[in-house]
Amino acid sequence: MAVNAVNGAVQGAAGSGQIQPNSAAELKNEFMTLMLAQVENQDPTDPLDANEYVAQLAQFSQVESLEYIRENQAAQMTMMENAAIVQSASLLGKQAMVPADEFSLGQTPVHGKLYLENSAESVQVQLVNDKGEVAATLDLGSQGQGDVPFAVDPQTLGLPAGDYRLKVTATAGDAQLPVNTFVRAPIEKIHFASASGMMMAEMGNGLGTVSVLNISEVSASAGAEQQES
């Protein structure tokens, strides 16, 4: 009799469309409705175990508390995202150095740097075009450990506009040294990537989109640099 009464209560609730079990609070309300239905229709000779209902009600309360915590965390995350976007907006138009070995060359020079973990007796940068041909070579000579700046000037090197790849050779005696390459480009857009939870910067000079965490240095915009010089 009690089972039939509970089934009837469930069917009635589902048919009315008033209870939508989408949250812990709504599930707890539905549970209370079903519990009252069972109490009203229980068999006097076989009363219900109140301890079981209390335990289940405590579980619903825990789930409800966890849901509230999750909602608060989501709200805090949204606030942090908005604050990060506002702060990162100051980067728009600035020149940023990011890890890259490929770039697009137009009519203006493209600057970059190499990072040497050890001193090198000879450092050479080959510019390989989209046909796989070496279009120009920068001979940087002997360099110490650390950053080594370079510039790709299309007019000086006689390079047409297009896509290029950096092929760097650094040697010390007969040993080939590891080299990290960086290219400078303007930051054109900032956005938040929800999937990764990171602020992303859309770069000029064909560098694509990179995480702001990968930016090694930021300088004034190209226009500001020209005015200062």
Mean pLDDT per 10-residue interval, the chain, length 229 residues: 41 44 66 75 71 72 77 72 63 91 96 96 96 97 96 96 97 95 94 79 94 88 48
State whether 125 and 190 are in the same domain. Answer: yes
Domain boundary among 88, 108, 126: 88
Q: What are phi and psi of 12, to 5 degrees?
A: -65, -40
pLDDT value of position 127? 98
pLDDT value of position 222? 58
State whether 35 and 104 are in the same domain. Answer: no
* Total count of domains within the chain: 2
State whether 118 and 171 are in the same domain. Answer: yes
Domain boundary among 69, 88, 107: 88
pLDDT value of position 69? 83
pLDDT value of position 20? 44
Residue 172: domain span: 92-228
pLDDT value of position 59? 75
State whether 99 and 30 are in the same domain. Answer: no
Q: What is the pTM of this model?
A: 0.62
Closest C-alpha among 46, 28, 26, 45 to residue 36:
28
